[in-house]
Structure 1
């Protein structure tokens, strides 16, 4: 695909993405863009060679795994994809019981606060009780776990050229989003800005579908401790987002160096070679005229 064709394709895709954003269309479960990440999105989308395609500023969630395929049950591929949980617990009626894209208020995390209200909030209204020994011992491949999770910021940016993508990647890594990378570098590259260093995923219970009850591994004080830890992760996540914004602001002001075509590169290399040859010839002529001893084969 030619460079001009790639530019046209990028412009078309960017126009469609920005029109969808302007209309308020958002495919995420939340249905809207996270407030904390809007400044970075506006900065990137104002650059002619970049546009954001998906984003999350970071979130805390309590997630119920989906149903797993029983070892005694055979299902078709289509049924497997729609009714059985994939790796990670998604699918098969897996769902968020609680999710927030901001830190939890400190007042609800105090030991003195009502445990029942706290548990009802994070477990999405499903009753919970301490796990009994029998259930813990009888876990199987069909057991559905409850996960307490923190996921840091993730951002995908479609770019017009590899030069712009590399510039964004440098900013991401220098802002401690160290697991960032570039996808499809030979087309319109996509920069995935992310880090796993702040993430954690702790199983905190199992789901009893017959009674619609969560059997807790961890009592309310321990769950509140996990919540306070996520608040610390949120603060560090916010610092990294601020650092990324500053680095991007500086980097996007620099002029872009467009990639050369093979023909242009060949012509440039040929011209540089000719210039170098003329320079060497001129040096030799100057040594002969001035009686340079090295030209006469004299060594010291």
Structure 2
């Protein structure tokens, strides 16, 4: 596909994405863009060669897995069990019991000094009780776990060219989003900006649907420790988001190469100079081999 066609396709997709954003359309369960990531989105969407396609600024959640397909069910029963959870626990009545995209856990820990109030908040009003010791040996593939999770920022950016995608990737990695990468490198590449090093997922109980009770693996003090740990992750996540914004801003201010930081540009210029020197040296050697009596100038070049 020609570069002009790629540019037209990118501009068309960008127009549609920005149109949906301006109308307030958002396909996420939350239904709106996370406010902490808006500055980065606006920065990228103002650049002619980039547009954001999906985003999450990071979140803390307590997630209840959905109903799982029974491993002992017959083939005909499994075919009927259509409303079941995926491998990640979504579907089949899987749902968030608690979720926040802001670092509210410190406030919740202060306000919910009573253990019952704290448990009621994080488990979405579902009653809980300590799990019996013998329960651990009775867990099966159909067990519905309750997870205490922290998921860091993730951002997908559609780019016009692979060159812009590579420069954006450099910015992401230099801002500690080390698991970032380029997906769909053909046509208009998409850059996935992410860091899995901050991710946190701890099973904290199982759900008993018959009693509508969560049987906890941890007591309230242990759950409060998890809440503090996720709060620490949230603060580091915010620091990395701020770092990414500053890196992108610096890169986009460079007039020669958009989305290229000064440090990256210095490395590129040095590499280009070394490559140019190698090519020049190779050319001179070739000329000497062609006609050593002409001081490095070949006969063909002298005629021309």
Q: TM-score range by the shorter chain?
A: 0.7 to 0.9
1:265-292 per-residue CA deviation (whole Å, 9 max, x = no partner) reads xxxxxxx99xx69x959x978749xxxx
**Partner residue of 1:34?**
34
**Partner residue of 1:267?**
none
1:182 partnered with 2:182: yes
**Partner residue of 1:226?**
226
How far, CA to CA, are the matches of 1:76 and 1:58 in structure 2? Answer: 38
- Where does 1:112-261 land on structure 2 (aligned, <5 Å)? 113-254=113-254, 255-256=256-257
Q: CA deviation at 1:231?
A: 0.8
Secondary structure in structure 1 of the residue aligned to 2:54: strand
Greater mean alpha carbon deviation, residues 246-255 or residues 229-238: 246-255
- Going from structure 1 to structure 2, the CA distance change for 1:112 and 1:252 (only over 3 Å counts) comes to closer
How far, CA to CA, are the matches of 1:175 and 1:108 in structure 2? Answer: 30
Counting matched residue pairs gives 271
**Partner residue of 1:93?**
93
How far, CA to CA, are the matches of 1:287 and 1:232 in structure 2? Answer: 68
Greater mean alpha carbon deviation, residues 166-175 or residues 129-138: 129-138
How far, CA to CA, are the matches of 1:78 and 1:14 in structure 2? Answer: 41
Q: CA deviation at 1:89?
A: 1.3
How far, CA to CA, are the matches of 2:97 and 2:295 in structure 1? Answer: 83
1:63-105 per-residue CA deviation (whole Å, 9 max, x = no partner) reads 001111112323588756x512111212221111110001124
How far, CA to CA, are the matches of 1:199 and 1:215 in structure 2? Answer: 24
How far, CA to CA, are the matches of 2:4 and 2:143 in structure 1? Answer: 54
CA RMSD of aligned residues (A): 2.6
How far, CA to CA, are the matches of 2:257 and 2:44 in structure 1? Answer: 15
Secondary structure in structure 1 of the residue aligned to 2:124: coil
- Going from structure 1 to structure 2, the CA distance change for 1:90 and 1:83 (only over 3 Å counts) comes to same
Q: Conserved in 2, the CA contact under 8 Å of 1:33 and 1:55?
A: yes
Q: CA deviation at 1:110?
A: 4.6
1:51 partnered with 2:48: no
How far, CA to CA, are the matches of 1:49 and 1:287 in structure 2? Answer: 48
Secondary structure in structure 2 of the residue aligned to 1:247: helix
**Partner residue of 1:108?**
108
Secondary structure in structure 1 of the residue aligned to 2:58: strand
- Going from structure 1 to structure 2, the CA distance change for 1:110 and 1:221 (only over 3 Å counts) comes to farther
Q: CA deviation at 1:240?
A: 0.4
Structure 2: give runs of 5+ residues left out of the alignment.
259-278, 297-304
Give me the TM-score of the superposition, normalised by structure 2: 0.82
Q: CA deviation at 1:21?
A: 0.3
Q: Conserved in 1, the CA contact under 8 Å of 2:112 and 2:118?
A: no
- Going from structure 1 to structure 2, the CA distance change for 1:214 and 1:287 (only over 3 Å counts) comes to closer
Q: Conserved in 2, the CA contact under 8 Å of 1:104 and 1:227?
A: no
**Partner residue of 1:18?**
18
1:222-262 per-residue CA deviation (whole Å, 9 max, x = no partner) reads 111101111100110011001101111122233349xxxxx
